[in-house]
Amino acid sequence: MMKLKVDFNKIRTGILIPTAIGCAIILFGFLFRLVLLFIVDQVTEYVDQDMMNIINILISLASFAAFLGLFLWTGYRATRKYHADVTEAGVITAVTYTLIAVVDLFFTVVLIGMNAAEIGDASIISYGLGGEMSRILLEDTLGIAGIPCCALGLIPLGILINFIVGGAGGMLGEKK
């Protein structure tokens, strides 16, 4: 039987900077959405839903591109700086994603709490929170509260996808 050797010191040190960068992106996105929430709440008669949908889609696309780049770089960095193999690069990326997803879920719950307390209408900025599919899949049945439920379901899928993305970044960073 083949033994899989994984160096947990590489994983621990490899997740620190990418996780901090990802959490900073999440925090910046949350603050941006919070500002957007209050601006839209004040000027609702001037802003139509189509314009908000376009803004939300652009935010989601920018976020997707930023995190794809971050996770590819995480795998690349793991192999270059810490001499990790492709599997370790994938694990480092998956763990980084998991930590960032939990932080994103926390901020999503904060926005949902604000919506429940009737502090603005968080449903107008809910694209990208807990995954883009969460709004499509669950909002009709559970309302905005369905977003964290869907996010919890998407986290395991995201772990698998980002393991592959990190492994791909690791393959790019392997020294020949």
The amino acid occupying position 146 is G
Segment 64-85 mean pLDDT: 94
pTM: 0.80
Residue 127: predicted pLDDT: 45
Domain ranges of the chain: 13-173
119-163 pLDDT, tens digit per residue, is 665 555 554 444 444 444 444 445 555 556 666 778 888 999 999
d(C-alpha 25, C-alpha 68), whole Å = 12
Whether pLDDT at 97 is above 70? yes
For residues 21 and 70, the answer to whether their CB atoms sit within 8 Å is yes
Q: Which residues of 108-125 are buried (b: 16+ CB within 10 A; e: fewer)?
A: bbebbeebeeeebebebb
**What is residue 73's predicted lDDT score, i.e. its pLDDT?**
97
CA geometry: angle at 161 spanning 86 and 112, to 5°? 135
Q: For position 132, what pLDDT does the model report? A: 43
- pLDDT tens, position by position, 2-56: 566 767 788 889 999 999 999 999 999 888 877 877 776 666 666 676 777 777 7
91 burial level (CB within 10 Å; 0-12, 13-18, 19+): buried
